[in-house]
Amino acid sequence: MASPNPGGEREKLVSKLPASLRQDLKVRAAQLQTDVQDAVADGIMAWRARTDELPTVNTAGAESFGTYLPEGLYDAFKEDCRTRSVSYIQGLAQAVALWLYEHPLAGQQVTVRRIVVCNQKGGVGKTAVSAGVAEALAEEQPEAEAAAPVSTAQDALAEATASAAAGLRVLLVDYDPQGHLSHQLGLRAIPAGEESLITHMLHRDQAKTSLMDLTVAIEGDRFGGRLRILPAAFDAFLLDSGLTTFRGPRHAALERALAPLEEHFDVIVVDSPPSLGLAMDAALYYGRQRDEEKPGRSGLLIPVEAEDTSAQAYGMLISQIDSLARDYDIFIEQLGLVVNKFDSRRGYIATSSRDKWVALGTPRVLAVVPDVKEQREAVRVQRPLLDYAPDCEQSHQMRKIARGLRAV
């Protein structure tokens, strides 16, 4: 369908657009040396020309967005939205997603996102944050529930917009030898002597079972089979000593082991041990920004508490990150902080510490998570928090963190 008056006067479009799509649009337009307004206009014209039903894009949390369209195109677009029974916001999101799909970068590759949840201080809630964020990323999104089935001809476009339309395929890796994550989700750690992540890190040539076969689906209707966990291993306590004598590049041992899994997932979340040793070096290296990877996609998510010793431990972690980055000439991004287990009733120490974390600015505080009973209850019954208490405040904060990570 031709655009009305493709040249000449323009009129303003005012609507809303998910932050992730707005950012991708801005970056791709700059990379292709195209004006954003022209990209949006092209996307709307392509959207109007489609006669098949497009995948629904999740527009929850969409923010104000404005641009200029050729005169007459905005009215024609709104009329098409009414005819197709979709909102203007949904129509615009589909149009932008369609433009991004039809205008890829030459040689562009999709890299699995790697989120390493870390802090060598114990008791800050790394496991709760790892599980909660993974659950929120995998959770079915509100608008995705109403999405129409996608035809075979549209599989590629559906895949291009999957991160906005539905929950992501997420792998949780219990990298902590204590195995709290596995236990909290009702799983036993893999016994010593059996094949595990540690086997694939230190003795890959001896492994007979693929790591994918060792992963376990986490039950819950909200996750739709998209959330899996690689359980902890009892012999992970020996990992640091094993890496000491490892003949290969020990800093890359975790990456080498997990590489075969990456094609099966959109996001891999690693629950790290409270350690500053070689195992932690391997986790930090795994979370580095890879060549050609967009900033903000992979890196470290750091739970802290609103008290003084947490700040001291954070300083030690930063020293380890800086040292590793210098040694291997890499960039390890801090995606954000999570002020966890916050309780204002603890008084000035808690509130002033929280304010200091927020005042840092970089890295940003993605959420302040309250210390609530639902988390402890979910652990007791060995169920995912977002399945056990989806409407509690902590679940909402986990979704807030996930939105902050998605909007990149």
Give the pLDDT of residue 164.
41
Give the pLDDT of residue 294.
85
Identify which of 96, 97, 106, 132 has the alpha carbon closest to the alpha carbon of residue 117.
Answer: 132
Confidence of residue 249 (pLDDT cuts 50, 70, 90): confident
Q: What is the second-level CATH architecture of the domain 113-406? A: 3-Layer(aba) Sandwich (3.40)
User: Of the given ranges (5-9, 200-204, 219-223), which has the lowest mean pLDDT?
Assistant: 5-9
What's phi and psi for 72, nearest 5 deg? 95, -20
Contact 289, 295 (CB under 8 A): yes
* H/E run at residue 217: strand 216-217
Instruction: Give the amino acid at 315.
Output: G
Contact 170, 227 (CB under 8 A): yes
Q: What is the domain partition of the chain in residue ranges?
A: 10-102, 113-406
For the chain, the straight-line distance linking the first and the last C-alpha, in angstroms and rounded, comes to: 33
> CA-based diameter of the chain, in Å?
73
pLDDT at 389 over 90: yes
Distance CA 154, CA 51 (A): 12
pLDDT digits (tens, 9 = 90+) for 14-34: 889 988 788 888 888 888 888
Distance CA 221, CA 247 (A): 44
pLDDT at 151 over 90: no
Provide the token pair at 99: 């433009």
pTM beyond 0.85: the answer is no
CB within 8 Å of 205: residues ≥ 6 apart: none
Distance CA 283, CA 272 (A): 7
Average per-residue pLDDT for the chain: 85
Confidence of residue 109 (pLDDT cuts 50, 70, 90): low
DSSP 207: -
Give the pLDDT of residue 343.
78
Distance CA 406, CA 401 (A): 9
CB within 8 Å of 85: residues ≥ 6 apart: none
What's phi and psi for 208, nearest 5 deg? -115, -15
Give the pLDDT of residue 153.
33
Residues counted in the chain: 408
pLDDT at 2 over 90: no
- For the chain, percent of residues with pLDDT exceeding 90: 45
pLDDT at 76 over 90: yes
pLDDT digits (tens, 9 = 90+) for 29-75: 888 888 999 999 999 999 999 887 777 787 877 889 999 999 899 99
DSSP 142: T
Give the pLDDT of residue 108.
54
Contact 339, 365 (CB under 8 A): yes
pLDDT at 347 over 60: yes
